[in-house]
Amino acid sequence: MSEPYEMSCVELARAYRDRQLTPRDALESILQRMAEVEPVLNAFCWRDDEAARAAADAASARWAGGAPQGDLDGMPISIKDLVDVAGMPTRYGSTASPDTPVATDAPCVANLRQEGAIVLGKTTTPEYGHKGVTDSPLTGITRNPWNTGMTTGGSSGGAAAALASGMGPLAVGTDGGGSCRKPANYCGLVGMKPSLGRVPLTATGGFWPLSSPGPMTRTVRDAAALLQVMSRPQINDPFVLPPIDLTVDDEANLKGLRIAQSVELAGANARPEVTAAVQQQFSVFADLGADVEETAPAVENPMPFYRTLLDSGSALYAAGWTDAELALADTTFREGIERGRALSAVDLRAAYLQRGAFAGQMAAFFDRYDLLVLPCNPTTTYELGMREPPKEPTDTWPVTVCFTAPFNITGQPAITVPFGKTESGLPVGLQIVGRYGRDDLVLRAAAAFESTTGCTNQMVTKVDLPSSASD
């Protein structure tokens, strides 16, 4: 049997049921793993090991008595530090945030606790999740376990580093432009942005309606199980979608589905290494019985009005900041705040109108196709210290979230699934996008793809600092 820290959520549940392991056994294995790799990776910004042990003991007693609270009872999970966990501070990666514990769980965390999940702690994020790499003035740099000189991506980079190194089988991230999917793609994981409204919220925040909590895991089956619990409606969010069955089975069959495949979107391309790797996987969907066609939505680059929506949110988050607090902010976040403060109400409403028109164009495309398969990002991971990698002469992509952010604009469900490594040895996956509300279909296709490729539960066993690292 594998070490407990190496096991998926489904494998742990089986071990609990068969009395081969207890939740306390699993937790102690993960805590020992944390002691080994967390000093290198810097994935967590807050932990409460004793509270986790108490929760693990309670879960162990329930399993021993044959009465677990649910499928996630006793499952260790990390929560991104943009999501409230009662008893822990929510710092948003910012020196301007208070370090006092919050009193109430976010709705998705409340759902997880009711199921018996064990909260390991809070994972790192760039300041207010504003960018696609994970470093912040508060917590410093988070490193990619596959190559610690490289970025995890972001903004759920701490969650990705934790999962990819064995610091828990489950993580809650948030995704406002690819923030679950980009770090999952760069770290060989599964990351999903659910449909807008699938996961309940108590407060929409500055980046609504772009951002949503989402599951991050090492297997599609674990992602489905996690989202099933996260998405249970709560009365404090009247706009949450009705619940649906997100269960995935072992049947690798996509017969009858109409799937569009493309390596380009809205004028953006992927680099040759990524393009070649993704194109090699396109035949999998035809082999699974789907009717496939190489085509893409005829849409223009949405990044200009997407940036307006983001910048207005940054300005909202910093509305009460003093000049001294602003001076301590991440440089790129401060620039976004300043751009947001310069916007007018007309600018913002115009961006919302453009969002609506863009979503309409996508809806028309998905009236013809059930799913769209395309790259998750135009590049693999890149060196630390850069918000975006240096451009190459053949690049037409504006930013590395060019394939992910469009579906935050539309609110559609999208998942990234790994399938191996590129010729340079770095993790790579592809993205599967579905119609609004069809999270179940996206998960079904992802599970079938994963089952066929056999690329599942990837994890780095040995994590070392590069010899030149100084951070």
In the predicted structure, residue 203 carries a pLDDT above the cut 90: no
pLDDT value of residue 206: 85
- What are the tens digits of pLDDT across the range 211-234? 999 999 999 999 999 999 999 999
- What are the tens digits of pLDDT across the range 97-153? 999 999 999 999 999 999 999 999 999 999 999 999 999 999 999 999 999 999 999
Q: What span, in angstroms and rounded, lies between the C-alpha atoms of 190 and 446?
A: 9
Q: Give percent of the chain above pLDDT 70.
A: 99
Mean pLDDT of 172-178: 98
- Given the residues 94, 155, 165, 312, the one annotated as active site: 155
Mean pLDDT of 358-382: 98
pLDDT value of residue 235: 87
Is 312 a catalytic site residue? no
In sequence order, what DSSP letters do the residues of 27-46 get, joined into one string? Answer: HHHHHHHHHHHHHHH--EEE
Q: What tokens does 394 get?
A: 């053949």
- What are the tens digits of pLDDT across the range 309-336? 999 999 999 999 999 999 999 999 999 9
Query: Length of the chain in residues, anyone?
Result: 471
Domains held by the chain: number? 1
Supply the mean pLDDT for the chain: 96
Q: What span, in angstroms and rounded, lies between the C-alpha atoms of 336 and 410?
A: 22
Mean pLDDT of 240-248: 95
Residue 77 in any domain: the answer is: yes
Query: Bigger pLDDT: 434 or 424?
Result: 434
pLDDT value of residue 134: 98
- What are the tens digits of pLDDT across the range 156-165? 999 999 999 9
Residue 69 in any domain: the answer is: yes
Residue 382 in any domain: the answer is: no
* Encoded amino acid at 429, one letter: G
In the predicted structure, residue 470 carries a pLDDT above the cut 70: no
Question: Model confidence at 205, in pLDDT bands (50, 70, 90)?
Answer: confident
Residue 137 in any domain: the answer is: yes
Q: Which is it for strands 44-47 and 291-294: parallel, antiparallel or unpaired? A: unpaired
| Three-state SS at 213 | strand
- What are the tens digits of pLDDT across the range 77-88? 999 999 999 999
User: Would you say 218 and 169 are in contact if contact means Cβ atoms under 8 Å apart?
Assistant: yes
* Encoded amino acid at 168, one letter: G
Residue 359 in any domain: the answer is: no
pLDDT value of residue 465: 80
Mean pLDDT of 46-52: 98
Is 122 a catalytic site residue? no
Residue 281 in any domain: the answer is: no
Which residues have CB under 8 Å from 176's CB, separation 6+?
Answer: 129, 155, 207, 210, 211, 212, 310, 408
pLDDT value of residue 424: 86
Listed residue (153, 94, 35, 31) closest to 329, CA to CA: 94
In the predicted structure, residue 467 carries a pLDDT above the cut 70: no
Beta-bridged to residue 47, according to DSSP, are 121
Count the Cβ atoms, other than its own, within 10 Å of residue 330.
22
In the predicted structure, residue 471 carries a pLDDT above the cut 80: no
- Given the residues 29, 80, 195, 211, the one annotated as active site: 80
pLDDT value of residue 141: 98
Which residues have CB under 8 Å from 97's CB, separation 6+?
Answer: 89, 90, 91, 138
pLDDT value of residue 198: 98
- What are the tens digits of pLDDT across the range 261-270? 999 999 999 9
Mean pLDDT of 447-452: 97
In the predicted structure, residue 41 carries a pLDDT above the cut 90: yes
- Given the residues 78, 94, 179, 451, the one annotated as active site: 179
Mean pLDDT of 40-51: 98
Q: Whose structure tokens read 């395309």?
A: 374
Residue 132 in any domain: the answer is: yes
Q: Whose structure tokens read 């976004």?
A: 336
Count the Cβ atoms, other than its own, within 10 Å of residue 188.
27
Is 467 a catalytic site residue? no
Mean pLDDT of 280-296: 97
pLDDT value of residue 158: 98
Residue 438 in any domain: the answer is: no
Please state the φ and ψ torsions of residue 356, each to the nearest 5 degrees.
-60, -40
Q: Give the range among 24-33, 169-178, 457-466 with minimum mean pLDDT.
A: 457-466
Task: Read off the pTM.
Answer: 0.97
Question: Model confidence at 468, in pLDDT bands (50, 70, 90)?
Answer: low
pLDDT value of residue 249: 86
Listed residue (389, 371, 384, 452) closest to 418, CA to CA: 452
Mean pLDDT of 444-450: 97
What is the CATH classification number for the domain harbouring 79? 3.90.1300.10
Provide the domain limits for residue 120.
7-255+446-453
Listed residue (76, 74, 167, 183) closest to 126, CA to CA: 183
